[in-house]
């Protein structure tokens, strides 16, 4: 197990280096010049050039990257060209809001998908199954930024139940969480259904039924527990998807998370902030994936045994 | 002579078998109601997109302003109502199909061609080549696709072409993985070994023998990714990082309608429905194709 963890950490370092390289080069090779955003409007050409030298932007990109990485190792990702804020500190200040939204969305997704998936599997081929699957397909096809707008329209503007945006109190979390969670629930419902169907066919369930165990217990205790493992895996990978993809939802609901921070940086061409935030977000996702994998091993004895044998 | 005749016969039998196989697949696809509905919607949308230029005059009907008729609710004169500049929303949504579908298709083609190329090389040759390609894929996958697309659009600037490149590049890792996995299953089969033994060149083996037999999951992925690419592209346009105004791309229409959501909800309702039904069509077809081409993948 330890060998596996060390191997994963080593791979993560390699991926982080690669991500930093890709993101730094893609963004810094941009044709648009950040100086046009930060230099005063009436600055002369000489003043702009002086600013370029001051910020080190006149040096070859490879040297700039190496300097960036020297700072990166020490936890220094530079300062925003626009606001002067420290990139790392700003990211860490916004991260809790994004994590809160991510976990709330996963919760909503589980709340919808598990009962729906079990119902579909139990009644395979019936109208209940068809309705669940059509709902899942619709959820998968609906752009979440549109769903977010519809939810604002109905629950905030018409009914006045929830605020249209911001992050004040529990109520403000509900609509963004439903927006992101519904899309996730679509995929998770399919996973719950298919893994339940696989388990339902197993002999031990027939034995349980033959022994006279009540159907409710057969499904909830014997079948669902074993169908849970693929469900946990998908929910784990979805967490990383939410962390990466909640940019638009955060914008619609004025949610003060990392996604909105990145987008504001994009609009103002704040190159250091964009680069730093995308790299940090990728690291956050890699760390969460590692934790999910380890939890997965902790839950399933078969996987633990596999680690103990092969170290992989 | 006999040898020539038997060779000719075997080719004919091979062709017949392949035609029979195609017919059988088509029969199974036709039986899948969802898939047929998806196909029907896609054909309809493609026809709409192709004929939009003949049906509408872009300058007057689509982007021409008519302030006297601004913000009119849906009616028989304006089926989807009009926007804040008096432009007919129905015409704009119809014309928007051109943008959204072409962006979806072209961006997927970028992902498909690049991803299949590298995935096939990685899967077929293995060793160091595979290791390098797959580690680069790991790095690309570690960056959330929407953020990768945002980074690319930031670098290249907001335009329709750059949007296609951004969304296409973000979909490459998925195609690399699927192609590699599919090629791995085929590469050690006997008919590939036979081709190698006959001295057929490697690139010809990949193109003529490996890829056609590894195609099923790639086709399914292409259909499903087209739907998700349309969502990604309209999402980026919604954020102002895609197709610039006044072009009626569906995401841009939604973004413009959002400002008037309080009194004129129809401005966000119709473009959103257009995106949803288009993506639904691709998902339905993708699901159907998966059931037909690769029943093992059906879950």
Q: How confident is the model at residue A4 (pLDDT cuts 50, 70, 90)?
A: confident
Q: Is the pLDDT of residue A85 over 70?
A: yes
Point out the residue among A23, A29, A143 whose CB comes nearest to the CB of B275. A143
**Over the stretch A233-271, which tens digit does the pLDDT of each residue have?**
777 777 777 877 688 899 999 999 998 898 888 888 888
In SS3 terms, chain B reads as CHHHHHHHHHHHHHHHHHHHHHHHHHHHHHHCHHHHHHHHHHHHHHHHHHHHHHHCCHHHHHCCCCHHHCCCCCCCCCCCCECCCCCEHHHHHHHHHHHHHHHHHHHHHHHHHHHHHHHHHHHHHCHHHHHHHHHHHHHHHHCCHHHHHHHHHHHHCCCHHHHHHHHHHHHHHHHHHHHHHHHHHHHCCHHHHHHHHCCCCHHHHHHHHHHHHCHHHHHHHHHHHHHHHHHHHHHHHHCCCCCCCCCCCHHHHHHHHHCCCCCCCHHHHHHHHHHHHHHHHHHHHHHHHHHHHCHHHCC
Q: Which domains does chain A have, with CATH numbers?
A: 2-73 (no CATH), 87-300 (1.10.3720.10)
- For A:69-108, CB contacts with B below 8 A are none
Higher pLDDT residue, A89 or A237? A89
Give the up-direction half-sphere exposure of residue B18: CA atoms within 13 A in the CB hemisphere: 8
Residue B237 CA to residue B160 CA, distance in Å, equals 9
Least confident of A83-97, A120-134, A171-185, A226-240: A226-240
pLDDT at position B87 is 87
Which one of B96, B147, B228, B275 would you mutate to disrupt binding with A, by most A Cβ within 10 Å of its Cβ?
A: B147
**Which strand (E) or helix (H) includes residue A275?**
helix A271-299
The predicted model gives A212-223 an average pLDDT of 81
Torsions phi, psi for B248 (to 5 deg):
-90, 45
Contact, A232 vs A87, CB < 8 A?
A: no
Give the count of beta carbons closer than 10 Å to the beta carbon of residue B185. Answer: 12
**From CA B153, how far away is CA B157, in angstroms rounded?**
5
Give the span between the Cα atoms of A165 and A178, in whole angstroms.
13
pLDDT at A220: 77
Q: What confidence tier does A304 reach under pLDDT thresholds 50, 70, 90?
A: low
Measured between CB atoms, does A138 come within 8 Å of chain B?
Answer: yes
**Residue A118: pLDDT over 80:** yes
What residues in B contact A152, CB-CB < 8 Å?
261
| Residue B295, pLDDT score | 57
User: Is A168 touching B (CB cutoff 8 A)?
Assistant: no
- In the prediction, which pLDDT does A308 show? 58
pLDDT value at A135 more than 50: yes
Low-confidence ranges of chain B (pLDDT < 70): 1-14, 294-299
Q: How far is CA A173 from CA A143, A179, A246, B25, B81, in A?
A: 19, 10, 13, 47, 33
- What pLDDT, in 10s, does the model give residues A10-63? 888 888 889 888 888 888 776 556 666 677 777 777 877 787 777 777 788 888
**pLDDT tens across A267-283, in order?**
888 888 888 998 888 88
Mean pLDDT of A168-180: 91
**Beta-carbon separation of B280 and A143 below 8 A:** no
pTM as predicted: 0.85
Judged on CB neighbours under 10 Å (0-12, 13-18, 19+), A142 is: buried
Give the pLDDT of residue A90.
93
Give chain B's contact residues with A (Cβ, < 8 Å).
Answer: 135-136, 138-140, 142-147, 150-157, 227, 231, 234-235, 238-241, 254, 258, 261-262, 265, 268-269, 272, 275-277, 279-280, 283-284, 287, 299
């Amino acid at each position: 197990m330890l060998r596996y963890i060390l191997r994963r950490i080593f791979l993560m370092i390699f991926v982080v280096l690669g991500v930093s390289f890709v993101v730094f080069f893609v963004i810094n090779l941009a044709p648009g010049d950040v100086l046009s955003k930060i230099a005063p409007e009436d600055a002369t050409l000489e003043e702009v050039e002086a600013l370029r030298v001051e910020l080190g932007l006149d040096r070859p990109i490879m040297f700039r990257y190496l300097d960036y990485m020297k700072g990166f190792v020490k936890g220094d990702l530079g300062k925003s060209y626009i606001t002067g804020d420290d990139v790392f500190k700003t990211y860490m200040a916004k991260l809790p809001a994004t994590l809160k939204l991510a976990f709330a969305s996963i919760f909503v997704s589980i709340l919808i998908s598990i009962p729906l998936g079990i119902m579909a599997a139990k009644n395979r081929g019936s109208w209940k199954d068809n309705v669940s699957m059509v709902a899942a397909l619709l959820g998968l096809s609906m752009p979440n930024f549109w769903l977010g707008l519809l939810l604002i329209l109905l629950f905030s503007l018409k009914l006045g139940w929830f605020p249209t945006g911001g992050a004040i109190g529990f109520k403000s979390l509900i609509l963004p969480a439903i927006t992101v969670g519904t899309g996730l629930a679509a995929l998770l419902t399919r996973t719950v259904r298919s893994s339940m169907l696989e388990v339902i066919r197993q002999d031990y369930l027939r034995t349980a039924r033959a022994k006279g165990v009540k159907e409710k217990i057969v499904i909830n205790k014997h079948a669902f527990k074993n169908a849970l493992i693929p469900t946990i895996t998908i929910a784990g990978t979805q967490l990383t998807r939410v962390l990466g993809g909640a940019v638009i939802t955060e914008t619609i609901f004025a949610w003060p998370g990392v996604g909105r921070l990145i987008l504001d940086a994009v609009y103002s061409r704040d190159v250091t902030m964009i680069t730093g935030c995308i790299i940090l977000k990728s690291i956050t996702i890699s760390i969460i994936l590692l934790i999910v994998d380890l939890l997965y091993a902790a839950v399933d004895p078969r996987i633990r045994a596999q680690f103990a044998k092969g170290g992989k | 002579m006999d040898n020539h005749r038997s060779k000719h016969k075997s080719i004919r039998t091979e062709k017949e078998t392949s035609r029979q196989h195609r017919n059988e697949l088509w029969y199974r696809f036709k039986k899948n109601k969802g898939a047929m509905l998806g196909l029907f919607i896609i054909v309809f949308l493609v026809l709409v997109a192709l004929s939009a230029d003949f049906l509408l005059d872009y300058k007057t009907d689509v982007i021409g302003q008519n302030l006297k008729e601004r913000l009119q609710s849906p009616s028989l004169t304006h089926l989807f109502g009009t926007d804040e500049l008096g432009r007919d929303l129905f015409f704009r949504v119809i014309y928007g199909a051109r943008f959204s579908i072409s962006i979806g298709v072209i961006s997927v083609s970028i992902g498909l061609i690049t991803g299949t190329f590298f995935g096939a090389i990685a899967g077929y040759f293995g060793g160091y080549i595979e290791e390098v390609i797959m580690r680069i894929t790991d790095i690309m996958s570690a960056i959330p696709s929407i953020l990768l697309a945002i980074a690319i659009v930031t670098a290249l600037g907001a335009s329709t072409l750059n949007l296609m490149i951004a969304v296409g590049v973000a979909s490459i890792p998925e195609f690399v993985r699927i192609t590699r996995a599919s090629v791995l299953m085929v590469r050690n089969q006997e008919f590939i070994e036979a081709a190698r033994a006959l001295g057929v060149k490697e690139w010809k083996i990949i193109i003529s023998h490996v890829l056609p037999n590894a195609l099923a999951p790639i086709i399914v992925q292409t259909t499903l990714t087209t739907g998700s690419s349309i969502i990604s592209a309209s999402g980026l346009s919604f954020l102002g990082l895609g197709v610039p105004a006044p072009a009626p791309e569906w995401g841009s229409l939604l973004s413009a309608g959002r400002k008037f959501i309080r009194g004129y909800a129809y401005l966000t309702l119709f473009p959103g429905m257009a995106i949803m039904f288009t993506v639904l069509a691709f998902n339905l077809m993708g699901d159907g194709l998966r059931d037909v081409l690769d029943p093992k993948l059906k879950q």
